[in-house]
Amino acid sequence: MPPNPFVCTVLPTYNERDNIGSLITGVLDSAITPHLVIVVDDNSPDGTGAVVEEMAARYNQPDLLRVVLIRRISEKGLTSAIQRGIDEAIHTHHADIVTWMDCDLSMPPQDIPKLIHAIIADDADVAVGSRWTAGGADVAHGRMARTLSWTLNRFARLLLGGPVRDYTSGFIAARVPVLQAIRLHGDYGEYCIDLLARAVRQGYHIQEVPYICVPRTAGASKTGANLWDYLVKGRKYVATIWRLSHESKNN
């Protein structure tokens, strides 16, 4: 790892016009290393892509890209969007570290340097923004959602082990060799459980960094609008945890 590693932050978007400009600004203005933002937009009808193009025109220079837009027309989905951004970061831009986060400003971009610091200074292979470690919190969601999330993560820790308390974080930084060894799998947030469990199993050094999840200020949540939405997604999370725990026992 070079002393001043090149970091790419992947931002998967769908209808985040009112948030993406502030998010890009927050990522770049708080960067502590050379930094590129890669926005993977699933052809948002609200004009998210146009805002990203405006930000690219503001930040990019003839010899220095700081914002890149990938507009997907025929493919959709959170996990595949993040993986597309990871591949772009590694193979096109030769990143040393790749980070990603939700694009609703619930994950403060000013906390990305803390994840990077965990990798550079503390020699972590993967840094996880955690709501459920000391110093972290979730003030974005109501009691029901927080209780379900805490319970699910407790269940994951019991069955999968390792140092991770927030298996459903989605706020991640990782060294490129980890992401070359482990590709993302899943439809939605269960990809994060799968990634972290396999990283634990393969002996990578994982460090959690506390962060406070805050309410989105604009747009509609894609996590869940009611109990039924949480239960539908939660079934996939539980199934993923169960599958991974049995894979571990059989290996």
Please indicate, yes or no, if residue 1 is contained in any of the structural domains: no
In whole angstroms, what is the distance from residue 135 CA to residue 125 CA?
Answer: 21
For residues 195 and 100, the answer to whether their CB atoms sit within 8 Å is: no
According to the model, what pLDDT value does residue 117 have? 97
The more confidently predicted of residues 161 and 171 is 171
Tokens of 164: 């991770």
Amino acid letter at 136? Answer: G
Q: Which long-range contacts (CB under 8 A, 24 or more apart) does 91-96 make?
A: 93/6, 93/8, 93/36, 93/38, 93/65, 93/68, 94/6, 95/6, 95/7, 95/8, 95/36, 95/176, 96/1, 96/2, 96/5, 96/6, 96/7, 96/175, 96/176
Residue-wise pLDDT tens digits, 108-129: 999 999 999 999 999 999 999 9
Please indicate, yes or no, if residue 91 is contained in any of the structural domains: yes
Please indicate, yes or no, if residue 74 is contained in any of the structural domains: yes
Mean pLDDT of the chain: 93
Residue-wise pLDDT tens digits, 136-145: 999 998 888 8
Please indicate, yes or no, if residue 101 is contained in any of the structural domains: yes
In whole angstroms, what is the distance from residue 237 CA to residue 149 CA?
Answer: 10
126-130 sheet: strands from edge to edge: 67-71, 35-41, 7-13, 97-100, 172-175, 126-130, 206-210
Residue 229 pLDDT level (bands cut at 50, 70, 90): low
Please indicate, yes or no, if residue 2 is contained in any of the structural domains: no
Residue 225 pLDDT level (bands cut at 50, 70, 90): low
Residue 11, strand partner residues: 39
Taking 80 as the threshold, does the pLDDT of residue 160 lie above it? yes
According to the model, what pLDDT value does residue 242 have? 94
Taking 60 as the threshold, does the pLDDT of residue 226 lie above it? no
Residue-wise pLDDT tens digits, 186-213: 988 899 999 999 999 999 999 999 999 9
Residue-wise pLDDT tens digits, 53-93: 999 999 999 999 999 999 999 999 999 999 999 999 999 99
Task: Supply the CATH number for residue 19's domain.
Answer: 3.90.550.10
Residue 228 pLDDT level (bands cut at 50, 70, 90): low
According to the model, what pLDDT value does residue 188 have? 87
Tell me the chain's radius of gyration from C-alpha atoms.
17
According to the model, what pLDDT value does residue 235 have? 86
Please indicate, yes or no, if residue 136 is contained in any of the structural domains: yes
Domain ranges, residue 13: 7-250
Residue-wise pLDDT tens digits, 39-56: 999 999 999 999 999 999
According to the model, what pLDDT value does residue 251 have? 64
Taking 70 as the threshold, does the pLDDT of residue 107 lie above it? yes
Q: Which long-range contacts (CB under 8 A, 24 or more apart) does 56-59 make?
A: 59/24, 59/28
How many structural domains compose the chain? 1
